[in-house]
């Protein structure tokens, strides 16, 4: 039996996820992916926009979009603090495909009112949500 960890995903508005049956967490940090198993060394990591992957003791996967933030790993507990987080099943693919397209168009054809930095942030967030959906959809293809 795999050793278990606790996981909390917290935003300023709510506690999105709180579990005690987690065997694996994949975090998308500013330095690359970080896989976490039980008894992981203590870490404080800066997260970027993108998917977070959670596996429970039964092997079931859950995918969550996080909008940057921080993760603390210590004593078999992973705490994620983020501005926004969404479960993959709550993300509207059509909406974020459109946001991505509009942001790309604005960056390719900027005018004097275009805030490049803000538009790039919007684009990263849309891409992160879409990547979260893609990872969740890819996993469902392999479920038996």
What average pLDDT does the segment 107-118 reach?
Answer: 92
Sketch out the chain's domains with CATH numbers: 5-88 (2.60.15.10), 90-142 (1.20.5)
Share of the chain above pLDDT 70, in %: 95
Q: What pLDDT does residue 92 have?
A: 97
The predicted-structure confidence for 43-72, as pLDDT tens digits, reads as follows 999 999 999 999 999 999 999 999 999 999
Select from 6, 5, 9, 133 the least CA-distant residue to 68.
9
Cα-atom radius of gyration of the chain, to the nearest Å?
16
- Cα 62 from Cα 40, distance rounded (Å): 20
pTM of the model: 0.89
Select from 52, 32, 54 the least CA-distant residue to 129.
52
What average pLDDT does the segment 129-134 reach?
Answer: 96
Q: What pLDDT does residue 2 have?
A: 66
Q: What pLDDT does residue 75 have?
A: 96
Q: What pLDDT does residue 144 have?
A: 38
């Amino acid at each position: 039996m795999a050793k278990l960890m606790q996981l909390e995903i917290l935003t300023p508005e709510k506690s999105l996820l709180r579990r005690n049956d987690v065997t694996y967490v994949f975090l998308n940090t500013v330095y690359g992916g970080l896989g976490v198993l039980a008894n992981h060394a203590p870490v404080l990591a800066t997260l970027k926009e993108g998917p977070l992957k959670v596996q429970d003791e039964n092997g079931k996967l859950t995918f969550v979009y996080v909008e940057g933030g921080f993760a603390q790993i210590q004593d078999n507990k992973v705490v994620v603090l983020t501005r926004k987080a969404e479960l993959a099943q709550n993300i509207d693919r059509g909406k974020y495909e459109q946001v991505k397209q509009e942001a790309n168009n604005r960056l390719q054809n900027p005018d004097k009112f275009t805030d490049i930095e803000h538009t790039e942030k919007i684009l990263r967030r849309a891409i992160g949500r879409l990547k979260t959906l893609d990872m969740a959809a890819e996993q469902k293809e392999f479920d038996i």
